Amino acid sequence: MLALLLVNLLAGCREVDRITVQVNGVDAQVEVAATPDSRQLGLMYRQQLGDDEGLLMIFAEPKEVSLWMLNTPLPLDVGFFDQQGVLRSVLPMQPDGGERLYHSPPGTLYALEMKQGWFERNALQPGASLRLPYAITGE
């Protein structure tokens, strides 16, 4: 059973919750990572993402968080949002085997990882608002 799970993960096949979130009215289809294990796995081993697909990390409480690109072959952008859903910063992240850490501003509750260029393509800058379809809390 463990071997099958590992094969599915390496192949990019996962059983995940997907929701549609909006940032200033722009839809994004995202996987939800609300537990420590799912946040740690993130988008590892993913070989492709659609233009409007990504991952929403939800933390248990607002804080400064650090992310890395370990086993993540796709260049991504990450938007860090505060408790009110306000975009505080966007950072580009490059595949590097997890060598670099990407730090959020203090008070981050949500991290939205999207295909690189998504925030710029949609003119989403600090101050933009994240809207969830329903309340979701992190562990």
Backbone angles phi, psi at 112, to 5 degrees: -110, 110
Q: Is residue 6 part of a domain?
A: no
pLDDT at residue 14, as a whole number: 47
- Among 94, 21, 91, 12, smallest CA distance to 58 is for 21
pLDDT at residue 113, as a whole number: 98
**Count of domains for the chain:** 1
Q: Tens of pLDDT along 29-77?
A: 999 999 999 999 999 999 999 999 999 999 999 999 999 999 999 999 9
Query: How many Cβ atoms are within 10 Å of 111's Cβ, its own excluded?
Result: 22
* Residue 16 pLDDT class (50, 70, 90 cuts): low
Q: Is residue 27 part of a domain?
A: yes
Domain at 72, CATH number: 2.60.120.1140
Q: Is residue 4 part of a domain?
A: no
Q: Is residue 66 part of a domain?
A: yes
Q: Which domain holds residue 62?
A: 16-131
Q: Is residue 37 part of a domain?
A: yes
* pTM score: 0.88
Q: Is residue 38 part of a domain?
A: yes
